[in-house]
Structure 1
Amino acid sequence: MKPRRATSHAIPHVHPAKIQVSNGAGAEEATRSKKPQRPSSQCDAKIAAGAVVCVESEIRGDVTIGARTVVHPKARIIAEAGPIIIGEGNLIEEQALIINSYPENIMPDAEGVEPKTMVIGTNNVFEVGCVSQALKIGDNNVIESKSDLGRNVILTSGCIVGACCQVNACEVVPENTVVYGSNCIRRVQSEKPQSQTLQLDFLMKILPNYHHLKKTVKGSGTPVRN
């Protein structure tokens, strides 16, 4: 009797290329099914209808922003020691910092510290890289690039704080004051700074085409000043 030939159950051969094509097609289909997610536009700020606030800006705390105010990407508005109220038609550029912070000699957890509201009027311009801690700012002011406003300063209206200038003393800056130069020289100009209406109109049309915006509060109008 001839020895019985061993039989083996052959495993079906699958070409590796077919596996790769199958997996690739599945990955491609899964990728297509996932649409790019829109950045979250939720924030604690109360943003009036008509304002343009880019989601790349940083807003923390109790902040109210009026209509027709434009907040660029990378701008920062931080309410630590109390609320911040920003009026209509303000322009806040990249890397500008508006902060309501505690004085240096007071700790945030100290007892008996009452919050102080920061109020910013209308038609002010905060240029690139400026820092503003002033609790009271009027209307039609220009805080130029890299300038610094201290917490104890009251900026009235129609003032210009020149680039890289510092105003940190406890004082009320008179209307139409211009601070300029390396020595922070002061003079009074005869006219207020020009309105930024045309620039605001342009930015309000262009920015939404390239940046997602934070949600506005329906039916909100001009913030009430204290």
Structure 2
Amino acid sequence: MSTQAAQPAPQSTSSSRPPVSLGQTTHLDPGAYVRGSHAITLGEHSLVHPRAHLVAIHGPISIGDGCIISEKCVIGGPVQGSASPGLPQSPETEHNESDPSKTTIGANVYIQANAQIHAGATIQDAVLIEAHAVVLLGVTVGSHAKVCAGVTLERDLEDWAVVYGHGDVKRSRKPSADAGAEQADLVETVRLKAMDKEREGTAAILKLASRMASVAKKK
């Protein structure tokens, strides 16, 4: 994976600045908040929105190709206890360096606004995490799965599953019959293409806004 060391430094909510490696085609917005001491790695063609939080306090963060990390998301959040709807800003959650928990986000993952992926969680490829959902420590979300808005996910979710309600109601997005499976694959391909267009368009707008803000500061 190629890296771009000269990317503008995002704002940080902490004096501790983690090492960040990102693909040349990835946009990590200067308005994102990056904190911690562990490494953060982003693949190609990904987009991290302003006010998204990448928290590498408890362990490294790996984000794959083609992802969208929306505003006010928290990646690598609280480890201790249960889910918290707030940002990971309590001092007691910032010192566990002896047992790092890697947070892994696969390729083509869309994490919507205000969602939280706690440190130590694994999100596999092509997953959709809707707004205000929370994935807890140690949980694995299978590929092409969907965590609906507001769900707190406490246990692993299999491939193609949809979880909603209070996190205990599930259904499959992919029929077992061959014809139905092919149709589901087609629908998923269309969804991912639409996600590509959204990511590319939004990234272009944010890059332009960043350049304009930089020019304005120099005047």
Do they fold alike, i.e. is TM over 0.5? Answer: yes
SS of the residue aligned with 1:164? coil
The structure in which a higher percent of residues are helix is 2
Q: Which residue of 2 aligns with 1:51?
A: 26
1:93 offset after TM fit, Å? 0.5
1:114 offset after TM fit, Å? 3.0
Counting only pairs closer than 5 Å after superposition, residues 1-226 of structure 1 correspond to structure 2 as: 41-42=8-9, 44-61=19-36, 62-99=39-76, 101-104=78-81, 113-133=98-118, 134-168=120-154, 171-182=155-166, 184-190=168-174, 191=184, 193=188, 194-195=191-192, 196-211=195-210
Distance 1:207 1:160, change over 3 A: same
Measure, in 2, the Cα distance between the counterparts of 1:201 and 1:125: 13
1:87 offset after TM fit, Å? 0.7
Residues 114-162 of structure 1: per-residue CA shift (max 9 Å, x gap): 3232221100011010111152111000110011110121111001100
State the TM-score, normalizing by the size of structure 2: 0.70
Q: Which residue of 2 aligns with 1:11?
A: none
1:172 offset after TM fit, Å? 2.5
1:102 offset after TM fit, Å? 3.9
Distance 1:110 1:79, change over 3 A: closer
SS of the residue aligned with 1:186? strand
Equivalent pairs: percent with the same residue? 22
Q: Is the 8 Å Cα contact of residues 46 and 63 (structure 1) preserved in structure 2?
A: yes
Q: Is the 8 Å Cα contact of residues 84 and 100 (structure 1) preserved in structure 2?
A: no
Measure, in 1, the Cα distance between the counterparts of 2:105 and 2:117: 10
Q: Which amino acid aligns with 1:121?
A: G
Distance 1:185 1:81, change over 3 A: same
Q: Please list every run of 5 or more consecutive structure 2 residues that lacks an aligned counterpart in the other structure.
A: 1-6, 11-18, 83-91, 175-183, 213-219
Distance 1:108 1:95, change over 3 A: closer
Distance 1:202 1:155, change over 3 A: same
Q: Bigger radius of gyration, 1 or 2?
A: 1
Q: Which amino acid aligns with 1:201?
A: E
Distance 1:185 1:45, change over 3 A: same
Q: Is the 8 Å Cα contact of residues 77 and 116 (structure 2) preserved in structure 1?
A: no
Q: Please list every run of 5 or more consecutive structure 1 residues that lacks an aligned counterpart in the other structure.
A: 1-39, 214-226
Residues 19-69 of structure 1: per-residue CA shift (max 9 Å, x gap): xxxxxxxxxxxxxxxxxxxxx922631121100111110112321111111
